[in-house]
């Protein structure tokens, strides 16, 4: 199948899903969400491992401000519904396959959501991780339930408040990254050699059990309501639109 925003290949029981929007820094739009969900549906029956990848210099930079700007200017639409993206991350976190994020370059905002929802995170030495939302009066409401589950409340709180990137060494110390090396492809292959021995049934039962232990579904309604609140704030939208038009952040004169 021809996808517009991702590249997909299957190798035995492994699915490689690459975010591929080089013209938009691998930002997230409705098409990317829909196409990722379509691929994960194909993985339900026989795939045991899903590997998420980005471009060499950028994994995923979060919401597509440019696309949001164009839609709201031309069609007078409200901000996109956050529920499909939250459901996509839920599927990565709870689906009957092991999910691996292979991160190179920058990961920001919603890109951290994909990482935090993954079972395993592998990175190279160029990887850096940030939550920039508060710079625009927003906050990562839908990311935080997944991120808190992965690295704990205070580290997620600090990353949100500081808005600046952390490098891969710190991400490893915090537990956001599980393994990294300059040759991350080699690290990924070693993990796959081990993980491909696990049975589909065993993975399904384990992920179902882990799903019962988490609070991801419990916090969904709060996360969606909070996301919609900040993305419908006129002052926040004004700052986003000015950034798209001029490259100036909201605090700049």
Catalytic residue flag (residue 64)? yes
Measure the CA–CA gap between 82 and 50, rounded to whole angstroms. Answer: 23
**Helix runs in 121-252, H state only:** 144-151, 153-162, 168-174, 184-195, 200-213, 220-231, 234-246
Dihedrals φ, ψ of 243, to 5°?
-65, -45
Are 89 and 113 in contact, with CB atoms under 8 Å apart? yes
Q: How far apart are the first and last CA of the chain?
A: 47
Q: Please say if 133 is a catalytic residue.
A: yes
Catalytic option among 35, 53, 64, 119 = 64
Backbone angles phi, psi at 187, to 5 degrees: -60, -45
Q: Which of 53, 119, 124, 133 is catalytic?
A: 133
**Among candidate residues 47, 9, 42, 10, the one with its CA nearest the CA of residue 199:** 47
Q: Are 118 and 143 in contact (CB under 8 A)?
A: no
**Alpha carbon of 10 to those of 82, 87, 142, 219: distances in Å?**
29, 23, 29, 33
Asked if 108 and 133 touch (Cβ cutoff 8 Å), the reply is no
**In which order are the strands placed within the sheet that holds 58-60?**
58-60, 106-108, 128-130, 166-167
- 120: β partners: 100
Active centre residues (catalytic): 64, 133
């Amino acid at each position: 199948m021809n996808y517009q925003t991702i590249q997909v290949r299957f190798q035995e029981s492994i699915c490689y899903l690459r975010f591929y929007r080089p013209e938009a820094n691998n930002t997230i739009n409705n098409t990317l969400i829909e196409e990722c969900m379509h691929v994960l549906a194909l993985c339900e029956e026989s795939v045991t491992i899903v590997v998420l990848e980005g471009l060499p210099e950028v994994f995923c930079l979060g919401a597509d401000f440019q696309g949001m700007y164009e839609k709201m200017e031309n069609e007078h639409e409200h901000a996109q519904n956050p529920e499909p993206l939250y459901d996509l991350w839920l599927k990565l976190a709870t689906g009957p396959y092991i999910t691996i994020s292979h991160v190179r370059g920058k990961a920001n905002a919603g890109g951290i959501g994909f990482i935090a929802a993954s079972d395993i995170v592998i990175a190279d030495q160029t990887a850096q991780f940030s939550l920039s939302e508060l710079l625009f009066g927003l906050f990562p409401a839908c990311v935080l339930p997944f991120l808190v589950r992965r690295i704990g409340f205070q580290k997620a709180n600090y990353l949100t408040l500081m808005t600046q990137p952390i490098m891969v060494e710190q991400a490893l110390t915090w537990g956001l990254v599980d393994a990294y090396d300059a040759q991350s492809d080699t690290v990924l292959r070693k993990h796959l050699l081990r993980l491909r021995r696990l049975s589909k049934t065993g993975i399904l039962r384990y992920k179902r059990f882990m799903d019962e232990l988490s609070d991801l579904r419990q916090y969904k309604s709060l996360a969606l309501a909070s996301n919609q609140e900040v993305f419908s704030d006129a002052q926040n939208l004004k700052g986003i639109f000015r950034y798209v038009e001029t490259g100036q952040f909201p605090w700049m004169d």
